Structure formats: structure tokens, C-alpha cells
Amino acid sequence: MMWSWIAANGAQIWQLTWSNIILGVIPPLIGLAISLPLGIIAARWRWFYPPTLTVVNVIYAIPALALFIALIPALGLTDTNVIVALTLFSLCVIVPNVIAGLRGVPPSVRQAATAMGYGALRRLITVELPVAVPVIMGGLRVAMVSSISLASVGQLIGVSSLGYLFIDGEQRDFPTEIYVGLVLIIALALAADLILVGIRRVLTPWMARS
Amino acid sequence: MRDPEAAATLWWLDEFSRAGWVGDPVSVITFERVTKRYPDGTVAVNALDLEVPAGKIMVLVGPSGCGKTTTLRMVNRLVEPTSGQILLDGKDIREQNPARLRRGIGYVIQQTGLFPHRTVEDNIATVPVLNGWSRAKARARARDLLKLVGLDQALARRYPYQLSGGQQQRVGVARALAADPPVLLMDEPFSAVDPIVRASLQDQLIALQTELHKTIVLVTHDIEEVIKVGDLVALFRPHGRIAQLGTPERLLGAPADDYVAGFVGFDRGIRRLSFFSTASLSLDTGPVLSANATVASARASGEPWILVADGKPRGWVQPDKLGQYQDGTLLGQVPAEPIGHTFTVGTNSLRAALDAAVLSPAGQAVGVDGYGNVVGVATFDRLRAAVQAAQTAADAAAALEPSESGAPA
């Protein structure tokens, strides 16, 4: 380890870290916004569920790099390319969790809500979605960690991220750079996960603490 | 007549009436030729005719798959009948929007169905909020209801997972009552709690009903629950036909056929005694002696067993077995056998009295007054006479009201 290198390149490291944050954090949030309606539809109309699951699974099977390259004709070598690709990946985790979360609402709770006089939409928004929050947040956490990590692969199509440190470090046979990139990505993922756990706790004061 | 305290608890009833949310305080539910056939051909309910009188508890009982729960759920349109109609106060329930209809019908289920993400008070406030009340007003109402169902107001801010099963079930009842619906549907409301909690919830329901006079349909598979809370009972056969409709006493006293007799069990004779009062049971005071009486007086009584009492019953002694004691020894000083349990004369049923006799070493039941002081004892012979008299009276009364018994064809 060359600690002096870190100090000397602080500005660049910070800039790469910030890019990685943007590229990694935005996709799961967009993914959540898309997954909620998809998951609601699939939970409500059962026939919609198998095709949805098949599509998201097929997307998940595509290597990240291949997806970036496939999107180049449409989106070029841009941040947008990486964000779109990672959003698609995040759907693969979040959609099934939205469905599982909604299906996991105890039938007695749903039935009681109906019997109290809730309409379908109001029941969904004020009862079913809040009760599904823990499972949905579980999906969001996995998507977030994987997205922050995959964002570094975007460097292979020239989109700036902590991935730069791996490629540059390997080319210059300079392990310090690689270690710094690795540690920062893991730290970012952990921090994002902790924040999400915190948000989940705030949203679900009604859960038994285990 | 309501006592002042009950009236204070129920201040909101008047407010509801003024606001016009409550039409008639009680409703009649009528099933007319109601059939429910599922797409796979299963008939859950078959041409059901049934009337639930206003302000009464109608218990639907039967084996699983007999259609009792389906029948219940058709009242608030969680299940729609295939044919026939259901009337609430003479009006077809299909004339009303389902959500509106349901806000006027309380619903309590075995699994409670409490909203896990809402506090106790917000759970209870559900229907008032749906009806457009402000949250503050609905919460104030929720706290009154907590008191009504016997829960501490400190629980208001807790979440359901922080409550015991019995407390959750009480919250479920409070939630169902929150908008003061004239009708209450209860689907095995007390089946998931232990027997002690169940008994206390049943007592609570009976107490509430004496104040509120709801029209209640309660589904159970427990014949003891029928006996305890039912004003009327409909016993279902498989596939939704009624085997017998009437009072629980008639179900036990005059089962319509072997199916009914089999369902109510071999001990239906014993269970039926629950409906017979001990008020007219003649008690014997001959075997009762004071703890200050002597062994000599016990021997002189000629009784095989003596109940030693000093107001409260102390125990049974057998004069024949007192040979080692001198005549002057006080009965309070000789070892006595425990009495098992007593029954309260006039309050407890003949069933409790008979049980007391069965458990007593002397084969005699000890009757006490409301303060626990001995009134007298009853032998099996006396109990048998009382049972026969009560049965004769009940059968004679039933014969005068033929509509109360028998099975519809």
C-alpha cells in the first residue's frame, strides 16, 4: 500500500466515488418506481405474474457488460446507458419482492380491510402496501448493493466510476489503486444498506424487533 | 333500562343518532332461499331460509364445510349468493354499495385481522375514519371503546404485535363496534385463544350485548359456546342445510334427529342442565353443622356425612369415622375432607350443582349464597328431582311455541 498515493489523488478519488454513487443509487430508485405498478398488477392479476417473472429473469441472466454494449446504439457511451442497464437489473430483484410483499399480506388482514368497507385502491395504498414495506425494502437493499457494485463495470464502456481504479491499477501494475477502489465500493454498498435499514425502521415502527 | 355508568360509556350512541348515522338501532337479517354454489359445483349453502331477529345472538354451528362461514360472509357481501336474496331490515343488501354496506356491519374473525402497521387506537378508529371523522375525534372514540371492551387505555399507542392473543381479540371486537353498527358478524371469534381467555371474552360479549343489543351472527364449532352465548342456534348439515333451528336448550333437549343428537354429543343431557336454574332446587340443611358443634351432635344427627360450616363451608366429615374423638370434641377440630366446589344458589345452573355433587366426597352439592355462606346441601336424589321438574317445564313451554323447534324441510 502506498498511502501517499491516496493523499496525492484525493480529488480524483472523490470524483470517481461521487460518479459511482450517482450511477449506483439512481437505478434502484427508478427501479422501485417502475416495480411498484408492475408488482401491483402482477399481484392483482395472476396471469400477469409468470410472464413478468420470466422477463425479469431473462434480463438478470444478461451479463452487465453485454447489456451496456447492447444499449450503445441507442444511448451511446453515456451515464444514461449505465443507469438504464442497472435499472433493468434492479427490476429483477425488486419486482419479485413487491409481488411477494403484497402476496404476503395475511389474508385475514386483507379480508378484514374489505369487510371494514375499504375500496380496492384505498385498501392497496393504506393497508397492503404499508404491510408489504419490509419485503419490498428487502428487495431494494439487494438491488442497491448490487447496483453500486455493478456501476463500476460501466468503466469498461468509458463511463467514469470507481471501476477506473481497477482498470488503471491493473494496467500500471499498481495494487494500491485496486485496493482503494475495492474498499470504497464495499464502503459505499455498506453505507447505502445501512441507510436503507434506517429508513425501513422509520417506516415500520410496528415490526417486532428481533 | 341502562344504568348511569353504562349510559356514560355509551354517550356516543346519542351523538350517532343525532348525526343520522344510525337508522334503527337494531336490524333484522333475513335469508330467503339463499344458495351458494361454487364454480366447481360444490354447494356451500343450499336454499337457506333463516331469520336473525333484531337484537339477538344467532349462533351458526356445524362441522367444517357445512357452509356456516359462507352464510356469515354473504351478509356483508364478502361472498355473493348464487341465488336467493338477503334482506337487512327488509331491504335487499345488493341495493347498497358493498363498501357502504360493510361500514354498517361489524366483522370479527378468529385471526383478528388487525392491521399490523397501525396502533391499537388507529385500528379501532378504522371505520369512523372511513366514514369521514377527523382522526382526533376517531381516536377519542377509540379510547372509549378500549374501555368498553375492558382494555387499559395505555394500550392505545401499542401495535398489535405487542398484545396478547386475548387483547388482540378484544381490540378486534372494539374495532368492529367503532362505528356502532347495528349488525355484528363474528367468525369463530374466540377459537384461537386458551380456554380461560375464551371464557372471559365470552363473558365480555354477553355483558356488551346486554348494553348494546346488536343483531349478532356468530359462527362456531364449539357446542359449549352455543350454550353460553347463543339466544338462538342454527345447526348446519354438510352442504348448507339447516338440521335444526331453535334455542340452544331445545337443541339439547329435543334434537330433531340422530345427526343433531350426534353433533351435540353424548353429554347433551348434562349440557342442557346449563339452562336450568338452581333457584327452585330444594336444599337440605340437616347435614350442616357449625364448627362449634360437638362430635356427639354429629353422631346424633344420623347423617352419613356432615358439612362443617362457620358461615363458609369448611369440609365434610363422616361421623362413623370419628371413633377416636371424644363426644365433646368440636367439629372444627377434627380433620375434614375438602368440599370440591360449591354452587351459588339461583345464579349457577343445575349443571354446576350436579358437577359439585359429582366432585364432592359426600356426593352432595354445597349451595352457597352470593357471599359464599352455606345455604344448604343437595343430594343426587334432590338434584334428580329438580332436573326432572325443569325438563318437564321446558318441554311444556316448548310445546306452546312450536315455531321455536324442529327442522325446516
Q: What is the pLDDT of residues A175-202, one digit of tens each?
A: 999 999 999 999 999 999 999 999 999 9
**Measuring CA to CA, which residue among A115, A122, A182 is closest to residue A148?**
A182
Whether B8 has a pLDDT exceeding 60, the answer reads no
Q: Cell match 351458526: residue?
A: B60
Q: Do B109 and A130 touch (CB under 8 A)?
A: no
pLDDT value of position B323: 84
Q: Cell match 343445575: residue?
A: B350
Interface residue ranges in chain B relative to chain A, Cβ cutoff 8 Å: 76, 78, 99-103, 105, 107, 109-119, 126-127, 130, 159-161, 175, 185
Residue among B103, B113, B160 minimizing CB distance to A111: B113
Interface test with B, best of A109, A116, A133, A203 (most B CBs within 10 A): A116
pLDDT value of position B20: 43
Q: Do B112 and A205 touch (CB under 8 A)?
A: no
pLDDT value of position B168: 96
pLDDT digits (tens, 9 = 90+) for B230-276: 999 999 999 999 999 999 999 998 999 999 999 988 788 888 999 99
- C-alpha grid cell, residue A148: 453500486
**Measuring CA to CA, which residue among B243, B282, B307 is closest to residue B390?**
B282
Q: C-alpha A24: how far from its chain's center?
A: 7
pLDDT band at B402 (very low <50, low <70, confident <90, very high): low
* Chain B residue with the nearest C-alpha to that of A133: B117
Whether B398 has a pLDDT exceeding 90, the answer reads no
pLDDT band at B360 (very low <50, low <70, confident <90, very high): very high
**How far apart are the C-alpha atoms of B206 and B209, rounded to whole Å?**
5
Interface test with A, best of B115, B133, B183, B219 (most A CBs within 10 A): B115
pLDDT value of position A210: 64
pLDDT value of position B65: 86
Whether B24 has a pLDDT exceeding 50, the answer reads no
**How far apart are the C-alpha atoms of A125 and A148, rounded to whole Å?**
30
Q: What is the DSSP string of B194-256?
A: -HHHHHHHHHHHHHHHHHH--EEEEEES-HHHHHHH-SEEEEEETTTEEEEEE-HHHHHHS-S
**How far apart are the C-alpha atoms of B193 and B225, rounded to whole Å?**
13
pLDDT value of position B22: 45
> Between residues 123 and 162 of chain A, which touch chain B (CB distance below 8 Å)?
127, 130-131, 133
**How far apart are the C-alpha atoms of B113 and A109, rounded to whole Å?**
4
Whether B5 has a pLDDT exceeding 90, the answer reads no
Whether A22 has a pLDDT exceeding 50, the answer reads yes
What is the 8-class DSSP label of residue B33? E
Residue among B100, B109, B119 minimizing CB distance to A112: B109
pTM: 0.82
Q: Do A131 and B117 touch (CB under 8 A)?
A: yes
Distance in Å, alpha carbon of A122 to nearest chain B alpha carbon: 10
Q: Do B99 and A111 touch (CB under 8 A)?
A: no
* Chain B residue with the nearest C-alpha to that of A112: B113
Whether B28 has a pLDDT exceeding 70, the answer reads yes
pLDDT value of position B90: 92
Phi, psi torsion values for B310, nearest 5 degrees: -125, 65
Neighbour order of strands in the sheet with B312-317 = B288-290, B306-310, B312-317
Hey, is the C-beta of A80 within 8 angstroms of any chain B C-beta? no
Hey, is the C-beta of A115 within 8 angstroms of any chain B C-beta? yes
pLDDT band at B405 (very low <50, low <70, confident <90, very high): very low
Q: Do B102 and A114 touch (CB under 8 A)?
A: yes
Distance in Å, alpha carbon of B183 to nearest chain A alpha carbon: 13
- Mean predicted confidence (pLDDT) in B374-385: 92
Whether B186 has a pLDDT exceeding 90, the answer reads yes
**How far apart are the C-alpha atoms of A73 and A66, rounded to whole Å?**
13
Whether B83 has a pLDDT exceeding 50, the answer reads yes
What is the 8-class DSSP label of residue A209? P
Q: Do A208 and B161 touch (CB under 8 A)?
A: yes
Q: Which of A144-148, B158-162, B325-329 has the lowest mean pLDDT?
A: B325-329
pLDDT band at B187 (very low <50, low <70, confident <90, very high): very high
Q: Do B114 and A118 touch (CB under 8 A)?
A: no
- C-alpha grid cell, residue B331: 367439629
What mean pLDDT is reported for chain B? Answer: 89
pLDDT digits (tens, 9 = 90+) for A102-118: 999 999 999 999 999 99
pLDDT value of position B25: 58
**How far apart are the C-alpha atoms of A91 and A97, rounded to whole Å?**
10
Residues of B in contact with A111 (CB under 8 A): 78, 109, 113
Residue among A115, A117, A133 minimizing CB distance to B100: A117
Distance in Å, alpha carbon of A135 to nearest chain B alpha carbon: 14
Whether B308 has a pLDDT exceeding 90, the answer reads yes
- CA separation, residue A102 to residues A34, A92, A135, B242, B289 (Å): 15, 16, 9, 38, 71
pLDDT band at B307 (very low <50, low <70, confident <90, very high): very high
Identity of the residue numbered B384: R
Residues of A in contact with B97 (CB under 8 A): none
pLDDT digits (tens, 9 = 90+) for A72-84: 999 999 999 999 9
Residues of B in contact with A114 (CB under 8 A): 78, 102
Whether B23 has a pLDDT exceeding 50, the answer reads no
Q: Which of A120-124, B22-26, B136-140 has the lowest mean pLDDT?
A: B22-26
Hey, is the C-beta of A106 within 8 angstroms of any chain B C-beta? yes
Higher pLDDT, B6 or A88: A88
Hey, is the C-beta of A54 within 8 angstroms of any chain B C-beta? no
- Reduced to 3 states, what is the DSSP secondary structure of residue A12? helix
Distance in Å, alpha carbon of A121 to nearest chain B alpha carbon: 12
CATH no., domain A3-203:
1.10.3720.10
Q: Do B159 and A205 touch (CB under 8 A)?
A: yes
Distance in Å, alpha carbon of B227 to nearest chain A alpha carbon: 27
Whether B68 has a pLDDT exceeding 50, the answer reads yes
pLDDT value of position A190: 97
Residues of B in contact with A109 (CB under 8 A): 113-116
pLDDT value of position B220: 95
Hey, is the C-beta of A74 within 8 angstroms of any chain B C-beta? no
Hey, is the C-beta of A209 within 8 angstroms of any chain B C-beta? no
Residues of A in contact with B122 (CB under 8 A): none
Q: Are A182 and A162 in contact (CB under 8 A)?
A: no
What percent of chain B stands above pLDDT 90? 77
Residue among B102, B118, B119 minimizing CB distance to A115: B102
**How far apart are the C-alpha atoms of B35 and B70, rounded to whole Å?**
10
Hey, is the C-beta of A47 within 8 angstroms of any chain B C-beta? no
Domain ranges of chain A: 3-203
This complex has an ipTM of 0.88
Hey, is the C-beta of A113 within 8 angstroms of any chain B C-beta? yes
pLDDT value of position A2: 85
In sequence order, the β-bridge partners of residue B310 are: B312
What percent of chain A stands above pLDDT 70? 100
pLDDT value of position B266: 77
What mean pLDDT is reported for chain A? Answer: 94
Whether A41 has a pLDDT exceeding 80, the answer reads yes
Distance in Å, alpha carbon of A145 to nearest chain B alpha carbon: 27
Own/partner contacts of B294-302, CB < 8 Å, gap of 24 or more, are B294/B327, B294/B328, B294/B329, B294/B330, B294/B331, B295/B319, B295/B322, B295/B325, B295/B326, B295/B327, B295/B328, B295/B329, B295/B330, B295/B331, B295/B334, B296/B327, B296/B328, B297/B331, B298/B322, B298/B331, B299/B327
